[in-house]
Amino acid sequence: MLFIPILSFSQEKWSLQHCVDYALEHNLQISAEKINLESQRNNVLIAKKDKLPNISGSINNSVNFGQNVILGTLQRNDNLSNNTNFSASIQLYGNGKLKKSIEKAQYDVATEDFNRQNIENNISLQIIQGYLQVLLNKEVYKIDLSSYENADKLYQKSKLTTKAGLTPFSVESEALAEVSRKQQAMLNAENEVKRALFDLSVLLQLEDDENFDIEDVTVSEVQPQIPESTAFYIETAFENQPIIKSAETQIKSAKMQTEVIKSNLYPTLSGNVGLGTYYFNYFNDTYTKSSSFFKQYYENFGQQISVSAIIPIFNKGITRLQIEQSKIQETLAENNLSRQKLALKQSVKKAVFDSNANYQNYAAAVEVEKNSKLSLNLAEKSYTAGKISIYDLNNARNNAITAESQLQQAKYNYIFSVKLLDFYTGKSFKEN
């Protein structure tokens, strides 16, 4: 199959590749998936940063006013105090919980990325189908336009022969009626072209669809493509389709989440470091003389190093229930994979069947169109010789038009079938 663009000097028209590229860049659903993907990537960064130590500092200043007993005498106890502390803590052991959390977050990123790819593939496939529908409707319009022009020529000829007395007025009337029928068919075909263009613009989510049009291309005669076995297509689809990869990574993510929760059954060991100092000053220094600020900070400076362990003993069995819940999610993820494989398997089988059936239909339509044209040529000669009526001629012409329209329909159905099989085998889209 070969798409040959027909040159046009009117407004810019969209190629199939342009349509696909535009949709992948501007589609809101794809944009939302990209945002979700960025969010999941941030979750990976957050999980990785949990391995770093927590460092904090504090400064506290307070002023106290009032009386208190000092050396047996009630005195004013007005004072100023200041303390500064720095502390750092880091997890030394947690049964690999931090590492497992990172792996789980990475699986979530992969799942979201496969979801994005799946949406992009589906939208690309819809664009291809919509684009081919426009091309088909344009072909049908050309056929109906040509039919209208031929009917009008026959009508003009019948007017002359009727005026000359060579044919009855009923011939002219039938010719005029045929012109009206062909004109109606042509207008319907034109509206179908506009409808298909509108549907494609909706898929592209265009703001301005009034000036939207696609390149006029000629599709050469298709050649039969011997499909691989159905088993080959199914196996290949299982290997490369992102919807399957997404389901597989969801299982890995669910299993890793179970491991993360299991870590809560084990002790957590943390290391802590602390630095601090303080300053204290009595405003009433009759009995006590306070040292200077910097001297006190130097003399009162202290350090602390500690290792702490949190040992889970009893938390009402919540952790084990959470593990069971997580295992249920694993089962659901495995069930989802089975369902996705079954749906994909059925879709691939249908695509292979449709490809074979559509080509057989196309091959039969080629013969019907060829014979209908031959019959029309003979009918035209017979009508010119006066051997058949205009009704017989119109019937032969309508049969030829129907055969040509059905041929175009069969051709584009087969083209889409081939594109669909290419999609399932993971081939990148190209205009050929």
Say if residue 287's pLDDT is above 90.
no
Contact between 124 and 200 (Cβ < 8 Å): no
Do 43 and 100 fall within a single domain?
yes
Contact between 43 and 105 (Cβ < 8 Å): yes
Say if residue 1's pLDDT is above 50.
no
Q: Is residue 430 part of a domain?
A: no
Say if residue 262's pLDDT is above 70.
yes
Contact between 277 and 297 (Cβ < 8 Å): yes
Whole-number Å distance between alpha carbons of 119 and 117 = 5
Q: Identify the pLDDT of residue 237.
A: 94
Q: Identify the pLDDT of residue 163.
A: 86
pLDDT digits (tens, 9 = 90+) for 172-220: 898 899 899 999 999 999 999 999 999 999 999 998 878 899 988 776 6
Q: Identify the pLDDT of residue 207.
A: 85
Whole-number Å distance between alpha carbons of 131 and 214 = 8
Residue of 22, 351, 1, 61 whose CA lies nearest to 203:
22
User: Strand, helix or coil at 282?
Assistant: strand
* Residue 432's pLDDT band (cuts 50, 70, 90): very low
Q: Identify the pLDDT of residue 323.
A: 95
The CA-atom distances, in angstroms, between 12 and each of 191, 297, 307 are 21, 78, 72
Do 22 and 150 fall within a single domain?
yes
Whole-number Å distance between alpha carbons of 392 and 124 = 46
Q: Is residue 378 part of a domain?
A: yes
Do 356 and 402 fall within a single domain?
yes
Q: Identify the pLDDT of residue 59.
A: 95
Q: Identify the pLDDT of residue 4.
A: 38
Instruction: Tell me if the pTM is above 0.95.
Output: no
Specify the residue for token string 């919980």. Answer: 97
Q: Is residue 429 part of a domain?
A: no
* Residue 76's pLDDT band (cuts 50, 70, 90): confident
User: Strand, helix or coil at 311?
Assistant: coil
Q: Is residue 65 part of a domain?
A: yes
Query: What mean pLDDT is reported for the chain?
Result: 89
Do 172 and 187 fall within a single domain?
yes
Do 168 and 207 fall within a single domain?
yes
Containing domain of residue 109, as a range?
A: 3-52+94-266+312-424
Number of structural domains (the chain) is 2
Residue 86, domain CATH: 2.20.200
Do 205 and 329 fall within a single domain?
yes
> If you average pLDDT over residues 397-418, what whole number do you get?
91
- Select the more confidently predicted residue: 92 or 8: 92
Q: Who contacts 356 (Cβ-Cβ below 8 Å, separation ≥6)?
A: 227
